[in-house]
Chain A
Amino acid sequence: QQPVQSPQAVILREGEDAVINCSSSKALYSVHWYRQKHGEAPVFLMILLKGGEQKGHEKISASFNEKKQQSSLYLTASQLSYSGTYFCGTEHEVAGANNLFFGTGTRLTVIP
């Protein structure tokens, strides 16, 4: 039930772009994206719901392919502060299901 994220790790130079993917074998109601820095709590970035509703930070963009149960997070013009581990959390399309299943994360390192 845990989603699969790719890549597992990526290193970028400042200003470069990256795409992080999240794939589930279950029909999804929503996908949530978080960034976690070492020793800190996950920070909410974006939520994408079935039907097209999205909510998140202005500088973050993401897509949700409902038919393929896949989501992608797009990081453009990366900054040093983007470094951290990115997790997607998936909510299954099952009546009454509200908990999230998190992937194992994508470690992003941005270097000067």
Chain B
Amino acid sequence: DTGVSQNPRHKITKRGQNVTFRCDPISEHNRLYWYRQTLGQGPEFLTYFQNEAQLEKSRLLSDRFSAERPKGSFSTLEIQRTEQGDSAMYLCASSLVVGAYEQYFGPGTRLTVT
């Protein structure tokens, strides 16, 4: 068990560009979550998948954000036409469906939009 991994760890982009982040969950976990965290705040829920199905999406998530988990394994989060307000740490977490289903977080991708 290697834990949740995320790539890239850091991304600097210019306003208006598109960016894509990848998350590889713990192998036996079938739930995968995306969160956004800004300085001094707790993680903010964006969306989550159970296997390949996207079951919930935050109302705060604009249409510029899209996430996929095509084969129920890794997931990608894409932000189109980035804005300076998108600058944040993007965290991925995974969990099991059954049991207490505690969430394990990855190291995050820090996005800076200039």
Which residues of B lie under 8 Å from residue A42 when comparing CB positions?
A: 43, 91, 105
Instruction: Find A98's partner among B31, B43, B91, B105 (CB 8 Å cutoff).
Output: B31
What separation, in Å, do the CA atoms of A87 and B35 have in the docked complex?
14
Are A41 and B91 within 8 A (Cβ)? Answer: yes
B41 touches A104 (CB 8 A): yes
In the assembled complex, the CB of A10 is this many whole angstroms from the nearest CB of chain B, namely: 16
Range of interface residues on A (Cβ < 8 Å) = 20 to 34
A96-B105 Cα distance, complex, nearest whole Å:
21
Per-residue CB contact flags for chain A residues 46-71 toward chain B (1 = under 8 Å, else 0) read 01010001010000000000000000
A87 to B104, alpha carbons, bound, how many Å? 14
Contacts from B to A (Cβ < 8 Å): 4, 31, 33, 35, 40-45, 48, 55-56, 58, 91, 99-108
User: Residues on A close to B: CB < 8 A?
Assistant: 2, 30, 32, 34, 40-44, 47, 49, 53, 55, 87, 89, 96-105
Closest 7 CB pairs of A and B: A102-B42, A41-B105, A99-B45, A55-B100, A47-B102, A87-B42, A47-B100
